[in-house]
Amino acid sequence: MQNDIKYVLVSEEKIDEINNRLGALISKDYQGKQLLVVGLLKGCVPFMSDLCKKITIPMEVEYMSVSSYHGNISSSGDVKIKKDLDISVKDRDILIVEDIVDTGQTLKTITELLKYRGARSVEVATLIDKPEGRVVDFKPKYVGTTIPKEFVVGYGLDYNELYRNLPYIGVLKEEIYNK
């Protein structure tokens, strides 16, 4: 698996720093609010788990599953909800946790949907932002780190469902997806 990685972009140490920083910030910003953290499956899982352990205020957890990639390396822009929330979001302060923001279409769509359903506030925490990829106007409030327009895997991010278990974020060698 390691042989398929061209180079490491975000190391395990850097990921730890990000989780500590964002966890402290979110705990401060949501003090006294009824925080509902919504993870977007499957990519959010390692980030969601590590980030939530750094949030020191009461919070609830829910998951949604959405897709826009369909096993390719560029977003289709067609956002599908594969698993919806099990609870009402009315008057809730929602923090969506996502692995990566690229075109912005997934998060813009889900943010607007949850606001339409009556959430009091909807913000996004993403481990990685690729601002050069944006095709819609969308700015996540909490960003772990910004990277260039590269296709990355690891720490929840996959290529054809593989590499999610790498403990760091790395750039996949082109020969893997040009096979």
Residues of this chain that bind ligand 5GP (CB under 6 A): 43, 68-69, 75, 98-106, 151-153, 157-159
Nearest distance, CB of residue 2 and ligand 5GP, angstroms: 17
Nearer Cβ to ligand 5GP (94/100):
100
Judged by beta carbon, residue 91 or residue 112, the one nearer ligand 5GP is: 112
Q: What is the DSSP string of 117-173?
A: TT-SEEEEEEEEE-GGG-SS----SEEEEE--S--EEBTTB-BTTBSTT-SSEEEEP
Cis peptide before 6 (omega within 30 of 0): no
**Residues with Cβ < 8 Å from 61, sequence gap 6 or more?**
36, 37, 39, 48, 52
Q: Between 25 and 133, whose beta carbon lies closer to ligand 5GP?
A: 133
Q: CB of residue 177 vs ligand 5GP: minimum separation in angstroms? A: 10
The nearer residue to ligand 5GP, 8 or 33, going by C-beta atoms, is: 8
- Cα-to-chain-centroid distance, residue 82: 16
Based on the residue annotation, tell me whether 99 is a catalytic residue of this protein.
no
Q: Which residue of the set 84, 102, 129, 158 is catalytic?
A: 102
Instruction: State the nearest-atom distance from the C-beta of 57 to ligand 5GP, in Å.
Output: 26
- Distance CA(52)–CA(57), nearest Å, equals 10
CB of residue 90 to ligand 5GP, shortest distance in Å: 26
H or E stretch at 101: strand 93-101
Which amino acids are annotated catalytic?
102
